[in-house]
Amino acid sequence: MMNPLDARIGVWSEAGRLRRALVCAPGLAHQRLTPNNCAQLLFDDVIWLQQARRDHFDFVAKMVDRGVDVLELPDLLADVMAMGHARDWVLDRKVTDDLVGTGLRLDLRAWLDELPAAELAEFLIGGVSYQDVPGDAGGDFLRALREFDPEGFVLPPLPNTMFMRDNTSWIFRGVTLNPMYWTARRQETLLTTAVYNFHPDFADEKYDVWLGDPDGVPRDHSAATLEGGDVMPIGRGIVLIGLSERTSHQAITKLAHRLFSAGAAERIIIAGLPKSRAAMHLDTVFTFCDYDVVTAYAPIVDAIVPFSLRPDDAAPSGVDIRREDKGLVPTLSEALGVDFRLITTAGDTYGVQREQWDDANNVVAIEPGVVIGYDRNVLTNTALRKAGVEVVTIDASELGRGRGGGRCMTCPILRDPLYS
């Protein structure tokens, strides 16, 4: 097996040293958010873009200061859009009858074909509004659409790309290209897949695709949806996966088969979550901070039902599925042979709900015992500090409006193992 530390990609733990991560700065997509469309685009409010950008750059700087190589999706996508064959690959899949409509497809494609690479990348993430399409392109049809719906989009914006964790997820030496749950997010995966397929930072690397379509052709995955906020490759061959609003048992068992048959994992621990927006992903209520420290929102994590999946040639499905008789944290302690300390959201009955809602339990570990989290979660951050975790803070006021914290905003590409 390749020594993980010699590789340029691969994620071997949740809290080992983070070496490279992919993020996505807020941009044009967030300028399109209005009180009317934000809920449909999975934001709780409109945002002040300039401040969000400042806060994002502060977040990136704090990672860079700790030695993380931070890659920006908009930049990588711009590099990829400068390669003719890669641009065609994306536009062939994006500018289709189904996605932009037969009436607009040819005109839209002709315009996008000629755009400078960085501008095209910006539109692919930020969306193309009816107003953006210049001159007579789109003809009478687009003129009529503009009049009928001045705020309409030919290609909708993808503001949740900022939560880079979700559309793909690296598990050990491979990746899942995620079929996402909500329509508002499904187009994100194609852009990241294009970067993995064509950008020199990825294209020459060897890795497996555990789930999803490397050819990027939009396919109906039906009920088999998976999002990175639920996926935690914790190590020693164990992957923890939330069974949530977004991630279904259909996707988890499909992924389990693939990981088991490739010999890439030995056990999947499923954390069955209640379905609610406060717990849309496992990482909104539970993250790893150190070798033996996790943080969690107790009311939900206490109710988690853990199951284990293991390869089993004797079982008709090839997988042995067993409900654990303990809660999540004792199950993990036993599985890893580590006595985990659990630091729960701090505060009174009201305070714990507010801090959880502001992603107090959604921190990203930069190295064992050092995490980045939102500044406003004063009580939970203090509790983590008392447990010996260094909490580096970033401003939540704008970044937090889409309900995602440090973990949601980073997609680790290379992270060291933690449990040998």
Ligand X SMILES: NC(=[NH2+])NCCC[C@H](N)C(=O)O
Comparing CB distances to ligand X, the nearer of 108 and 273 is 273
Q: If binding is defined by CB under 6 A, does position 401 make contact with ligand X?
A: no
d(CA 107, CA 93): 16
Q: Pick the piece of the chain touching ligand X (CB under 6 A) from 24-32, 78-86, 213-221, 398-406.
A: 398-406
* Count, residues near ligand X per rule CB under 6 A: 15
Q: If binding is defined by CB under 6 A, does position 26 make contact with ligand X?
A: no
Strand 341-344 to 293-296 pairing: parallel
- Quickly tell me which residue has 């050990």 as its tokens: 172
**Residue 207: CA atoms inside 13 Å, Cβ hemisphere, count?**
29
Candidates 40, 55, 158, 24; CA nearest to 399 is 55
Residue from 199, 221, 281, 415 in contact with ligand X (CB under 6 A): 281
Residues from 34 through 53 that contact ligand X (CB under 6 A): 42
d(CA 298, CA 352): 9
Residues from 216 through 275 that contact ligand X (CB under 6 A): 229
Q: Which candidate in 24, 38, 289, 408 is catalytic?
A: 408
Comparing CB distances to ligand X, the nearer of 166 and 416 is 166
Residue from 13, 129, 160, 176 in contact with ligand X (CB under 6 A): 160
Q: Is 408 a catalytic residue?
A: yes
**Cβ 41 to ligand X, closest distance in Å?**
8
Rounded to whole angstroms, what are the CA distances from 17 to 111, 174, 379?
44, 18, 26
Comparing CB distances to ligand X, the nearer of 130 and 163 is 163
Comparing CB distances to ligand X, the nearer of 33 and 265 is 33
Residue from 166, 290, 324, 398 in contact with ligand X (CB under 6 A): 166
Residue from 179, 233, 235, 404 in contact with ligand X (CB under 6 A): 404
The full length of the chain comes to: 420
Comparing CB distances to ligand X, the nearer of 100 and 408 is 408
- Quickly tell me which residue has 């993995």 as its tokens: 196
Q: If binding is defined by CB under 6 A, does position 188 make contact with ligand X?
A: no
Candidates 213, 209, 255; CA nearest to 232 is 255
134 and 114 in contact (C-beta within 8 Å)? no
Comparing CB distances to ligand X, the nearer of 234 and 408 is 408
d(CA 289, CA 342): 10
Residue from 89, 130, 163, 288 in contact with ligand X (CB under 6 A): 163
d(CA 77, CA 95): 17
d(CA 389, CA 346): 15
Comparing CB distances to ligand X, the nearer of 77 and 408 is 408
Q: If binding is defined by CB under 6 A, does position 129 make contact with ligand X?
A: no
Residues from 168 through 187 that contact ligand X (CB under 6 A): 185
Residue from 126, 402, 406, 417 in contact with ligand X (CB under 6 A): 402
Strand 10-11 to 305-311 pairing: unpaired
Q: If binding is defined by CB under 6 A, does position 408 make contact with ligand X?
A: yes
**Cβ 373 to ligand X, closest distance in Å?**
13
Candidates 312, 176, 302, 193; CA nearest to 247 is 176
Candidates 72, 60, 82; CA nearest to 24 is 72
**Cβ 182 to ligand X, closest distance in Å?**
7
Chain-centre distance for alpha carbon 320: 28
Q: If binding is defined by CB under 6 A, does position 403 make contact with ligand X?
A: yes
| Angle, in degrees to the nearest 10, between helices 84-94 and 188-198 | 160
413 and 14 in contact (C-beta within 8 Å)? no
Interface residues with ligand X (CB under 6 A) are 42, 160, 163, 165-166, 185, 229, 280-281, 283-284, 402-404, 408
Catalytic positions, please?
A: 408
